[in-house]
Amino acid sequence: MKVSCIIPAYNEEKTVGSVVETVKDSMLADEIIVVNDGSTDGTKDALSKFDGIRIINLKKNLGKGGAMQAGATVAHGEVILFLDADLKGLTTEHIEGLVMPVIKGETDMTLSYRDNSGEPFFKIDIFSGERALKKETLQKIKGLEKSEYAAEALINKAILENGLKWKSVRCKGLRFVQKEEKRGSRILGALDLYKMYWKISRKVPGIIKMWWKMGKGAAKK
């Protein structure tokens, strides 16, 4: 199966390059698509040094769901690997751990559990931006382009409603840049996080039930 790696990026000039480099090193992605979601920093310049990748520069910010859909629309692979652009510590082993269970047919979707995912009960991060699934599954999801921060929750909802399998992949050493780091303030970061969860719950109600069901399901595997 061919694998398309899609990396949505909004103002991630400091980290997007290392993410792309690791994907290229892994040799598992047949194509790498970076969607520059209307960034206002140096993200576009940071990507310009790479050969052999496809860069989609959106003129305006569509939100994460819109960027993911923009990449998926042009992707040729049967398997889609989504990676956030703000990752630190990404390794080729992490990529293999996410992609291979889907290629082998062991599960319908994988999602990462990173060092700072912050959910110790089930050890499953239902909002993780690192996940792999078949493109045919992704194509059945309606409204991804308008989902913004709720993109991952919308994908989870489709997985649950269609009775598909999922697997939480422990990615030791992997972390994402948290909102307080980006904002340089714990208070502002906490407010951003609250707003994000509020927006997610408005677009995809029942996220607590979703977490419980997915967590219990992962715990049985």
Q: List, for residues 58-112, the tens digit of each pLDDT value.
A: 999 999 999 999 999 999 999 999 999 999 999 999 999 999 999 999 999 999 9
What pTM was estimated for this model as a whole? 0.94
Which tokens go with 30? 């047949």
Q: How confident is the model over 119-162, as pLDDT tens digits?
A: 888 999 999 999 999 999 999 899 999 998 999 999 999 999 99
Find the domain containing 157 and state its range: 3-177+210-220
Q: What is the pLDDT of residue 219?
A: 58
Amino acid at the residue 135 = K
Q: Is 147 inside any structural domain?
A: yes
Q: Is 185 inside any structural domain?
A: no
Angle at 88 between CA 107 and CA 104, to 5 degrees: 15
pLDDT (average), residues 16-34: 97
Residue predicted with more confidence, 32 or 118: 32
Q: How confident is the model over 197-221, as pLDDT tens digits?
A: 888 888 899 999 999 999 987 755 5
CA distance 39 to 70: 15
Q: Is 183 inside any structural domain?
A: no
How many folded domains does the chain comprise?
A: 1
pLDDT (average), residues 176-184: 77
Q: Is 192 inside any structural domain?
A: no
Q: What is the pLDDT of residue 221?
A: 56
Q: Is 189 inside any structural domain?
A: no
Q: Is 96 inside any structural domain?
A: yes
Yes or no: say if 166 and 108 are a contact pair by the CB < 8 Å rule: yes
Computed over every residue of the chain, the mean pLDDT equals 93
Angle at 101 between CA 30 and CA 110, to 5 degrees: 90
Cβ neighbors of 1 (< 8 A, separation 6 or more) are 77, 78, 79, 103
Q: Is 186 inside any structural domain?
A: no
Q: Is 199 inside any structural domain?
A: no
CATH code, domain with 165 = 3.90.550.10
Q: Encode burial over 82-115: b for 16+ CB neighbours within 10 A, e otherwise.
A: bbbbbbbebeeebbebbbbbbbeeebbbbbbbbe
Q: Is the pLDDT of residue 24 over 60?
A: yes
